[in-house]
Amino acid sequence: MNNYIELKPISELLGMSFFIPSYQRGYRWTEQQVTDLLDDIYSFATKKKESEKEFYCLQPVIVKKRNTTDSNSEEYEVIDGQQRLTTIRILFSYLINEYLNGKPLEKRYGKRLYTIDFETRPECVGFLDEIKLEEKSNIDHYHIAQAYKHISSWFDSKMKEDGNMFDDICDRIIKTLVYDKKNQREEGIIQVIWYEIREQNTNPIDTFIRINLGKISLTNAELIKALFLQKRNFGDGDIAKLKQLEIAQKWDRIENQMQEENFWWFLNKEENNSSSHIEFIFDMICGMDKTSESIEKIIGNDQNRTFRYYAYRFGDSPDHETIKTLWSEIEEKFETFQEWYLTHEWYHYVGFLIYCGNSVQEIMNWLNAESIITKENVTTRLIDEIKKEFKNIKWINNNNEKDLHLDLDYNSNKEVLRKFFLLFNLEYINQQSNNKNIIYYFPFKSFKTGKSGKELIAWDIEHVNSATENTLEKLEDKKVWLENVKQDIKNIPNDCKKEIDCFLTDDKCEIKFETLQDKIIEIAGEHTISEELKNCIGNLTLLDAGTNRGYGNSLFSTKRRIIIQKDREGTFIPLCTKNVFLKYFDGNVQSQWLEQDIISYRRILEGTMEKFIPKKEVSHV
């Protein structure tokens, strides 16, 4: 038998019997917790209602029906919600004593109070009816009495703050608690999320431990699942069971796919620490529903907002067609995600837009706005949205292969450059896959969550040939630079080797590092690169900050070796960054980075990115 869930007014709890088992602690709410509850109830009771269906919802009350000897009464074991139920019961006692002049609730409103029976504290049952404020001999009685005092103090302060009469405040509050859905009037009603465990093999103690000791509340997904799968939605018979089983199996299939890490990180920028990932779809559907502004007033904006949205759409007596329609919406959204994920270009374009801060909801809205949705216009629309990320920059083309740059200040636009080089990787992969050269999906998870050592990766824009302004100041850094030279430069003349060894081993060596460095740079061939080319787009690439800052302004051959080593160790290196350091783009097998390499690389950048960034032709007079 499936668990049962509904939104239940407090008025429907009146007359019920609750049992607090021995494994639960006694009543222990503080003044702040009592005050917060009263503030919430009163705020709702006095606010202008936008809809006759508007209500305020308390957190879930989780119960399981008990087997009792009295066949004429029903009693529920409270697994979670004891503190709220007891506080409201104390509030009723206060209202009866101070507002109804001791007359029973039943005489005024036709409803009996609910009872709370404590397995290990039976004397508390009577104490809730006749609370003695100075009681200190019993710890449970003491805390109940303190809550009563807090309630009394709250009413006193509320009269001073608002200037309202005591009777008016009490009248507004009590009506939100005793009115039901058929007779809620202008005050509205207070409801709880009623979660009834009906599965016979469920152990209430295990559920209590998970929810209370483990501090894990019921998720929106768990609550919504109970809405969809409760037996009353399907009726009786084998066909009804099959329909129920079908949704349960589809639910599990969607959840399993959403739990797959690459799938999740393709659609998201942040990790999901929730036990359920299907909730992402529910939240999105709730956020996209603009059919009625009154829905926002009804469902609120707290952690159970999405559940209340679905409870509102289910209504009091949903038929199978309603369930089918609601479930079809969920499947449709999931199947759209899958299509994006499995369509190579869309996977990379959608993933890029999400990295740039667009939500899945926004992207789906753009695409749904198309009058006719074909694969071609989906691709075109995604490209158009990507272009907006680069709307203020263009390629500069002076018909001069050494004048190679974007119309962009590289030093003040690092974030634009990060997006540029990420998209370059993605579009290069798309083009290579379209040409059947590779079938490769960019690993968004590694890009967003990868680590270099123990540190989370941050991404830098790296000069392939180091910029000359990155001078080395510390002696230790200079020695590391020279040690790398000895390892990576194979054609160093003997006289230069001796100077390097002298600097590394002799503290009295008179050789100036700067002079020795210039000589080595010339030997490596990197002196031929002009400052103009060093600072153009063809000398930049995307690299994790740890690797970038770790090798400083080393020679290209050193950088190349470190990149290869990091890749072997499992550090994520973007494909195009590896291609740069492996000399893939220029075909030059030398372990050098020269002017022609920069020119060749820049042509690859421009050719790959031309669909997103237009050329700016410069006329010559």
Quick one: 453 and 596 in the same domain?
yes
Q: Is residue 241 part of a domain?
A: no
Residue 325 or 120, more confident: 325
To which residue do tokens 């209504």 refer? Answer: 315
Q: Which two tokens stand for residue 182?
A: 């058929």
Together in a domain, 544 and 519: no
Domain boundary among the residues 339, 364, 390 is at 390
What is the predicted pLDDT for the residue at 552? 59
| CA distances from residue 201 to 1, 60, 78, 211, 437 in whole angstroms, order as listed | 10, 21, 17, 18, 55
Q: What is the number of structural domains in the chain? A: 4
Lowest-pLDDT choice from 157-171, 228-242, 462-476: 462-476
pLDDT at residue 73 above 50? yes
* Lowest mean pLDDT segment, chosen from 192-201, 419-428, 518-527: 518-527
Cβ neighbours around 450 below 10 Å, total:
16
**Of 527, 523, 526, which Cα lies nearest the Cα of 489?**
523
Classify residue 233: in a domain, yes or no.
no
Burial 471-500 (b: 16+ CB within 10 A, else e): ebeeeeebbbbbebbeebbeebeeebeebb
Task: Look at residue 617 in the predicted model and tell me its pLDDT.
Answer: 58
State the residue range of the domain holding 269: 246-390
Q: How far apart are CA 215 and CA 237, in angstroms?
A: 39
pLDDT of residue 621: 42
Half-sphere exposure of 132 (CA within 13 A, CB side): 12
83 pLDDT band, cuts 50/70/90, is very high
Q: Are 534 and 463 in contact (CB under 8 A)?
A: yes
Residue 542 and residue 510 share a domain: no
Q: Which residues lie closer than 8 Å to 555 by C-beta, 6 or more apart?
A: 466, 484, 485, 488, 489, 520, 521, 524, 526
The DSSP code sequence of 471-522 is ---SHHHHHHHHHHHHHH-S---HHHHHHHHHHHH-TT----HHHHHHHHHH
pLDDT digits (tens, 9 = 90+) for 400-455: 655 557 777 777 788 999 999 999 999 999 999 888 777 789 999 989 886 555 55
The residues that bridge with 58 in the sheet, in sequence order, are 192
Question: Model confidence over 134-168: pLDDT tens digits?
Answer: 888 888 899 999 999 999 999 999 998 877 799 99
* Res 343 pLDDT > 90: yes
- Asked whether the predicted pLDDT for residue 223 surpasses 70, the reply is yes
Co-location of 576 and 514 in the same domain: no
Asked whether the beta carbons of 193 and 312 are under 8 A apart, the reply is no
Determine, yes or no, domain membership for 229: no
Q: Which ranges of 279-374 would DSSP assign to H, the alpha helix?
A: 279-288, 293-299, 305-314, 320-342, 344-355, 360-368
Q: Cα–Cα distances in Å, from 459 out to 345, 357, 430, 442?
A: 23, 16, 22, 16
Nearest-CA neighbor of 390 among 377, 407, 378, 403?
A: 407
Domain assignment present for residue 223? The answer is: no
Asked whether residue 33 carries a pLDDT value surpassing 80, the answer given is: yes
pLDDT over 70, % of the chain: 88
Mean pLDDT value of segment 322-345: 94
The CA distances from residue 261 to 250, 341, 349, 356, in Å, are: 19, 12, 18, 20
CA–CA distance, 300 with 309 (Å, rounded to integer): 9
Asked if 201 and 303 sit in the same domain, the reply is no
Q: Kind and range of the H or E element at 616?
A: strand 615-617
Query: Based on the domain organization, do 482 and 459 belong to the same domain?
Result: no
Residue 528 has pLDDT above 50, yes or no: yes
Pairing of strands 451-452, 404-406: unpaired
Single out the residue of 426, 302, 282 nearest to residue 356, CA to CA.
426
Q: Is the pLDDT confidence value at 397 over 80?
A: no
* Mean pLDDT across 479-496: 82
Please give the Cα distance from 233 to 266 (Å, whole number).
35
Do the domain assignments include residue 239? no
Residue 470 lies in a domain: no
User: Both 178 and 39 in a single domain?
Assistant: yes
Per-residue confidence (pLDDT) for residue 595, from 0 to 100: 84
Same domain flag for 500 and 591: no
Report d(CA 574, CA 238) in Å as an integer. Answer: 54
Partners of 17 in the beta sheet? 75, 115
User: Is the CB of residue 19 less than 8 Å from the CB of residue 76?
Assistant: yes
Which pLDDT score, from 0 to 100, does residue 261 have? 92
CA angle 344, 347, 348 (to 5 degrees): 95
Q: Which residue has the higher pLDDT, 540 or 485?
A: 540
Average pLDDT, the chain: 85
pLDDT at 228 over 60: yes
Asked if 172 contacts 46 with a C-beta cutoff of 8 angstroms, the reply is: yes
Check residue 462 and give its pLDDT: 85
For residues 584 and 601, the answer to whether their CB atoms sit within 8 Å is: no
Q: For residue 182, what pLDDT is reported?
A: 66
Provide the token pair at 158: 């509320």
Q: Please work out, in degrees rounded to the nearest 5, the angle formed at the alpha carbon of residue 366 by the alpha carbons of 365 and 369.
A: 85
Could you tell me which residues come within 8 angstroms of residue 66 by beta carbon, excluding any fewer than 6 positions away?
19, 75, 76, 77
Structure tokens at 388: 């907006």
The pTM for the full model equals: 0.75
**Spatial distance between the Cα atoms of 190 and 88, rounded to a whole number of angstroms:** 11
Query: Considering the domain boundaries, does residue 224 fall inside one?
Result: no
pLDDT tens for 543-580 read: 887 766 655 577 888 888 888 888 888 888 999 999 99
Residue 236: inside a domain: no
User: If pLDDT is split at 50, 70 and 90, which confidence band does 103 have?
Assistant: very high
Asked if residue 25 and residue 151 are part of one domain, the reply reads: yes
Verify that 323 and 444 share a domain, yes or no.
Answer: no
Q: 320-342 burial string, b = 16+ CB within 10 Å, else e?
A: eeebeebeeebeebbeebeebbe
Partners of 452 in the β-ladder: 455
Residue 185 has pLDDT above 70, yes or no: no
H or E stretch covering 548: helix 545-551
Q: Are residues 19 and 140 in the same domain?
A: yes
Q: What is the pLDDT of residue 620?
A: 45
The C-alpha atoms of residue 281 and residue 287 are separated, in whole angstroms, by 10
Instruction: Answer yes or no: do 342 and 375 share one domain.
Output: yes
Q: What is the full DSSP assignment across 410-477?
A: TTT-HHHHHHHHHHHHHHHHHHHHHTTS------HHHHHH-EETTEEP-EEEEESSPPTT----SHHH
The C-alpha atoms of residue 361 and residue 336 are separated, in whole angstroms, by 12
**Cross-strand partners of 75:** 17
Residue 323 amino acid letter? I
pLDDT at 492 over 70: yes
How far is the C-alpha of 421 from the C-alpha of 566, rounded, in Å? 20
Reply yes or no on whether the pLDDT at 388 is more than 90: yes
Provide the pairing of β-strand 395-397 with 75-80. Answer: unpaired
